[in-house]
Amino acid sequence: MDASRDEKKLLRYTYLLCLVCFFNLAIIKQPFDKGAMVMAIVTCLLVGYSYFIIRKFFSDGDKYIFIFSSILSVVGMVMLYRINMASSIKQIIWFAIGVTGFILIVVLLPDLKSFSRHKYFYLVVTMIFMGMATLIGKEINGSKNWIVIGNYSFQPSEFGKLFFVAYLASELKDYKNFKDLIKPGLVVMVCLGFMVLQKDLGSALIFFGISITMLYIATSKFRYVATCIGLFVAGATISYRLFDHVKVRVEIWSNPWQYANGKSYQVVQSMLSIASGGLTGSGLGLGHPEYVPVNTTDFIFAALCEELGILIGFAIIILYFLLFYRCMRAAVYGEDEFSKLLVVGYSAMIAAQVLVIIGGVMNAIPLTGITLPLVSYGGSSMLITFFSLGIIQKISEEGR
């Protein structure tokens, strides 16, 4: 009962955050922007109804997973509405589809333990999605990782992550000795190879982070992780020597100011935007996110920090940490190794994506063009994140 009361209190704060932020955007426009309030009401209804369904019919699992993901989505939709109203409207549609998928996974999927025997299906689908952009992809913003069909574009590697984690979980659940790691190791190497060929360094880092996290949880042997890190460093060094785009990213990272009007323009504008916001920001709707390139996807965190301040930036990072904690907590309740490894893999996927993009935006690591989960604009990312969280929610339901 106490847990339910705390959840509802946090949910009320989520509604308040949504209404206050959209009301703020509505009043700074002349005349009063009724569309902003419509967005706020629709968002609150979607979040509230989804929570009601999950709490009423599936009361055993960890509902904070959904609440924290909803708060992050609200922050993202507010900022997108501030920057580009059309993108915000599209995002709320993707949010509705993602939440629907989240609920359907919890409601319709049978016991997940039975899915562990389909490892070759996961392998085939993973290879299809990982290699698709290499063969028929279109290069956008320097990376050949997009498939364009008519007016719709998507990143196949986003969908590949779902099946990649499922494949590794189905292989590593039966780990007994080093021989059991050869096949999954080769699959990881092939996937990383595809990412390098597509110049998608961000996804390569994420796939590597997923792999070593699941490897350590499955084997409890740090020497395997250390060996993988050594091989990754060797591969990165070779890539640096062979591929010009890797050299450019490293040069930008090591000295962004030297190329401020050219190759490092995006990173420099991002850092200036964060610095100009200070601790408390210029105020929602009062900054200049238009000076930051790609401000609805790769650099939305910089736009957030400019208008809402570095303190809110830290708060968003803490929210991601809390979401990661609640997800990993579900692994404790997993009834079998496959379920536990699924939770670890999907949790690591979200955490790695957050660390890579925020690190790149702040120039702590070389910049990679990926989205900030749940906050950045992007249908593929929104769907995959909610599908992953739905599977974690399902496992937390089964374990209680």
- Say yes or no to pLDDT of 80 above 90: yes
CB atoms within 10 A of CB 337: 18
- Say yes or no to pLDDT of 167 above 80: yes
pLDDT band at residue 322 under the 50/70/90 scheme: very high
- Say yes or no to pLDDT of 2 above 70: no
pLDDT above 90 coverage of the chain, percent: 38
Identify the residue with better confidence: 144 or 63: 63
DSSP-derived secondary structure for 273-332: HHHHHTTT-S-TTSS-GGGSTTTTTTTHHHHHHHHH-HHHHHHHHHHHHHHHHHHHHHHH
Q: Are 327 and 347 in contact (CB under 8 A)?
A: yes
Among 57-66, 71-80, 116-125, 324-333, the least confident range: 57-66
Mean pLDDT value of segment 272-283 = 89
Q: Are 268 and 260 in contact (CB under 8 A)?
A: yes
- Say yes or no to pLDDT of 1 above 60: no
What pLDDT digit, counting tens, does each position of 115-154 carry? Answer: 888 889 999 999 998 888 888 777 766 667 778 777 777 7
CB atoms within 10 A of CB 153: 13
Short-list 15, 82, 23, 83, CA closest to 46: 15
Helix (H) or strand (E) holding 259: none
Distance separating alpha carbons of residues 70 and 95, to the nearest angstrom: 9
pLDDT band at residue 400 under the 50/70/90 scheme: low
Mean pLDDT value of segment 266-291 = 88
For residue 262, what is the DSSP state? Answer: T
The pLDDT score that the predictor gives to residue 257 is 82
What pLDDT digit, counting tens, does each position of 207-249 carry? Answer: 999 999 999 998 888 888 888 888 888 887 877 777 777 777 7
pTM: 0.91
- Say yes or no to pLDDT of 287 above 80: yes
138-140 and 152-154 strand pairing: unpaired
Per-domain residue ranges of the chain: 2-399
The pLDDT score that the predictor gives to residue 45 is 93
Task: Give the relative orientation of helices 265-277 and 300-308 as an angle to the nearest 10 degrees.
Answer: 20
The pLDDT mean for the chain works out to: 86
- Say yes or no to pLDDT of 325 above 80: yes
pLDDT band at residue 8 under the 50/70/90 scheme: confident
The pLDDT score that the predictor gives to residue 347 is 94
Q: Are 387 and 162 in contact (CB under 8 A)?
A: yes
CA atoms within 13 A on the CB side of 61: 29
Mean pLDDT value of segment 346-367 = 88
Q: Which residues pair with 153 in a beta bridge?
A: 148
- Say yes or no to pLDDT of 186 above 50: yes
Distance separating alpha carbons of residues 10 and 5, to the nearest angstrom: 9
Distance separating alpha carbons of residues 287 and 270, to the nearest angstrom: 13
The pLDDT score that the predictor gives to residue 242 is 73
Q: Are 11 and 51 in contact (CB under 8 A)?
A: yes
Mean pLDDT value of segment 62-90 = 92
The pLDDT score that the predictor gives to residue 212 is 92
Overall residue count recorded for the chain in this entry: 400
Q: Are 228 and 216 in contact (CB under 8 A)?
A: no
For residue 151, what is the DSSP state? Answer: T
The pLDDT score that the predictor gives to residue 398 is 62
